[in-house]
Chains A and B, each alone.
Chain A
């Protein structure tokens, strides 16, 4: 745990402008990706509710827009065999059974109506000749159920939701940064926020606060994640006393561009791309003979890493394998995978029509996050499973948990809209019954000290960029696709050492206007705090399941580890507890745990 060196620092700081509780709303949503915007539209259905979205980047910059391949729904537009049950089964099995089955059931049952709703809003989905929405195959899904917009599906969805937001005139605090979540007596009161433009700190009181703040993949050197994906929401919740669930489960996507880790969509494999090692072998044959390249991501990523570790990697560095698009054919590549083609060209100088692309596993998705129920209500998950009254979460920052130990491709966009919508509805129905909130100047103390420490404090001996760079190297090397006890212990002490160095970090920019130096420093604090939770959870979990693979415990151990991890913030170190996996879907029997083969 980080002991913020700012704690106890002199509070009085004349130049730091701060305003208490002038701003208030009934509902305040933090984050403007798919989950946040979808929820906002739902709340806005009740015109008597005063609602606002707060986001550190303009809504159209949100990382949902980077999702490429598709969004799953059993529409049966390309098949007669699909059903929500099959979708649910694929999701449960894909998640290596650590999936809450009540949530997976909702996800798959509500998928089609959500897709049609988005289509009616004007989403630019790719079509068949007869005008129906087109669907393609995706890893771990038995049937072709990925609805898509070429290979820019997230962008199409983000755009259409923003259009609807604009139409409704929903208030957006764009380029405002949330610093602290205020919870008193287990009731959420609002937020401490920072206006990036003016550099001013304020509170916003709100009876309902929803986090849709995205994932935490930036702690890894090789990652698909945007600079913004620094786990701010999960850390704010954690600091406010909420546990974090299953943090050790980080998905490594099999096809990141070598070096940068930039995402090349799984749609490429869905359309028929091959994975090939240095010997020219389609190696997936040895790992998942039936599904081959379209096995779930955890299995493909492990296979690639094994090929690389055993010396069958490609390029001079030997740290990657090839993805060969050529079997798909030029015309189809140009039509269905233009972004993949352009990314290979623009970011690696490779003409994917003519040669294979070197790719490697890349940190992609955060399965863990803020524990909540199927209506977005955040829960303490203690003995009474108390709700955090007025606090909600959806999307990647949350852990419902529909993805369990490994998310299937196309289920993340779906999760964001299905549970964003449900959370919005729940807030709309519940907020009117909640008490008015209490926000005082004292609630700003930690945030004021944090900002003052960097903006007005002494020069430090450490640069933020150097600490961050070391953290990312450490996490990719010691807490990557494969983990061992020794590596994780090294990683943990490394993270702690970096937390110590962070104590003497300083920044250059002491200004108030658009101070990105300051935000970098605050975000690094978040990364250091949640990285410890990833490692601690991974160290404790002595088995291999989904995205968490241990060389020293290579098999799944259901007897000991069929349970969710919960990390609570104690005085000196995180305290781990565990909770049961939900096996009670409403409309059918649960799928029993089986051996996972593809």
Chain B
């Protein structure tokens, strides 16, 4: 049987010491990384700690980093990990990122789990109203729209690889936001507006994502967290929750491009932060950076590149119009959908 070497990133909580340790074990075709780690634990070194339970990608226990990317160990074939292994064919395994390590491959997931509570991810049906005697009528189209986001197994792989969480532990993170999305879109929930208001106004909400797509790649299910966050932004703007830096930034960004055919850096900061008196300290905090830019003549360069050539500007304008048309179609769809839904609930 072929041998495979694993380089494990370990952590000893007594000595508070991180170290790497290599183990070589026999692997059979079809074996998963979790199988191999268990062979190591059971035959060679029982002190290796990890979490696991269902072994078929539904309980979410065994997310860890394999060759630097977060994934479920039970769902990852050794053969697949081999193809992404380092130079000597060694597969590296380590604990998830963005969470404190407790021991070896076990991390403290409390922070991750708390985010769901912060995002209030439970159904809020109409208050003071008895539910129907049978089920709420929920159109299949509505269910199909958000069902993929309800497949989250809370494994933390997306959170582990999230580049925003890495620098800002207040960010709700991809999983909690995707779950919030699932409730915003679920037509049984009566608080869509309040949710959008909260998610767009709060620190660590939808506008803090940088759209790096790492969460989508890490997710072992079909949740597509980043897409959910983007859709939440659109919904928040449509619902009129624009009094926040994120939506102003997005508007200023698009406005600048539409008008000049290229990004207008000089106006981006003040337009994003807004002109309310409370925004003054924030605006001022950008001054040192602006002065440095001025000194290095970068701001002047930016101002010189005042606009794109005429032809390009026309093309960009046309693109904007096209998108606008698309959006109107989409809104019409949404309206007719809402009407259908009302009809269905009448016949309840």
Q: Does B125 contact A (CB under 8 A)?
A: yes
Highest count of chain B CB atoms <10 Å: which of A120, A152, A197, A520 = A120
Q: Does B53 contact A (CB under 8 A)?
A: yes
Please state if B131 and A60 are interface contacts (CB–CB under 8 Å): no
Residues of chain B lying within 8 A (CB to CB) of residue A124 = 143, 147, 150, 182
Q: Does B58 contact A (CB under 8 A)?
A: yes
Q: Does B303 contact A (CB under 8 A)?
A: no
Please state if A226 and B59 are interface contacts (CB–CB under 8 Å): yes
Q: Does A303 contact B (CB under 8 A)?
A: no
**Which residue on A lies nearest to B122, using beta carbons?**
A163
**Which residue on A lies nearest to B28, using beta carbons?**
A259
Please state if B49 and A516 are interface contacts (CB–CB under 8 Å): yes
**Least CB distance, B73 to chain A, in whole angstroms:** 12
Please state if B50 and A259 are interface contacts (CB–CB under 8 Å): no
**Least CB distance, A172 to chain B, in whole angstroms:** 10
Please state if A166 and B116 are interface contacts (CB–CB under 8 Å): yes
Q: Does A511 contact B (CB under 8 A)?
A: yes
Also in contact, A60 and B135, with CB within 8 A (given A155-B151, A163-B123, A514-B103): no
Q: Does A478 contact B (CB under 8 A)?
A: no
The range of chain B's interface size is 35 or more
Q: Does A61 contact B (CB under 8 A)?
A: yes
**Which residue on B lies nearest to A335, using beta carbons?**
B144
Contact residues of A between 52 and 81, Cβ < 8 Å to B? 57-58, 60-63, 65-66, 75
Please state if A163 and B47 are interface contacts (CB–CB under 8 Å): no
Residues of chain A lying within 8 A (CB to CB) of residue B86 = none
Please state if B42 and A159 are interface contacts (CB–CB under 8 Å): no
Please state if B55 and A61 are interface contacts (CB–CB under 8 Å): no
The range of chain A's interface size is 35 or more
**Least CB distance, B283 to chain A, in whole angstroms:** 39
Please state if A122 and B46 are interface contacts (CB–CB under 8 Å): no
A115 and B135 CA atoms in complex are apart in Å by: 8
Also in contact, A259 and B60, with CB within 8 A (given A166-B116, A227-B55, A509-B46): no
Please state if A348 and B42 are interface contacts (CB–CB under 8 Å): no
Contact residues of B between 124 and 163, Cβ < 8 Å to A? 125, 131, 133-140, 143, 147, 150-154
Residues of chain A lying within 8 A (CB to CB) of residue B136 = 119-120, 131
Tally A-B pairs: CB < 8 A: 170
Indicate with 1 or 0, residue by residue over A100-139, a CB within 8 angstroms of chain B CB atoms: 0000000000000001100111101111111111000000
Highest count of chain B CB atoms <10 Å: which of A75, A119, A131 = A131
Q: Does A291 contact B (CB under 8 A)?
A: no
Residues of chain A lying within 8 A (CB to CB) of residue B258 = none
Contact residues of B between 84 and 125, Cβ < 8 Å to A? 102-104, 106, 109, 113, 116-117, 121-123, 125
**Least CB distance, A118 to chain B, in whole angstroms:** 10
Q: Does A465 contact B (CB under 8 A)?
A: yes
Also in contact, A122 and B30, with CB within 8 A (given A129-B139, A163-B122): no
Indicate with 1 or 0, residue by residue over A136-167, a CB within 8 angstroms of chain B CB atoms: 00000000000001101001100110011011
Q: Does B240 contact A (CB under 8 A)?
A: no
Please state if B140 and A127 are interface contacts (CB–CB under 8 Å): yes
Q: Does A13 contact B (CB under 8 A)?
A: no
Partner of A63, one of B51, B54, B183, B344: B54
> What are some 27 contacts across the A-B interface (CB < 8 A)?
A60-B59, A60-B60, A60-B154, A66-B59, A120-B131, A122-B183, A124-B182, A127-B143, A129-B140, A130-B344, A131-B345, A152-B58, A152-B151, A155-B58, A163-B122, A166-B117, A167-B122, A227-B52, A343-B57, A347-B56, A511-B47, A513-B14, A513-B103, A514-B103, A517-B41, A517-B47, A517-B49
The 9 closest A-B pairs by CB, nearest first: A122-B123, A465-B42, A131-B137, A508-B46, A163-B122, A517-B46, A509-B47, A120-B131, A124-B150
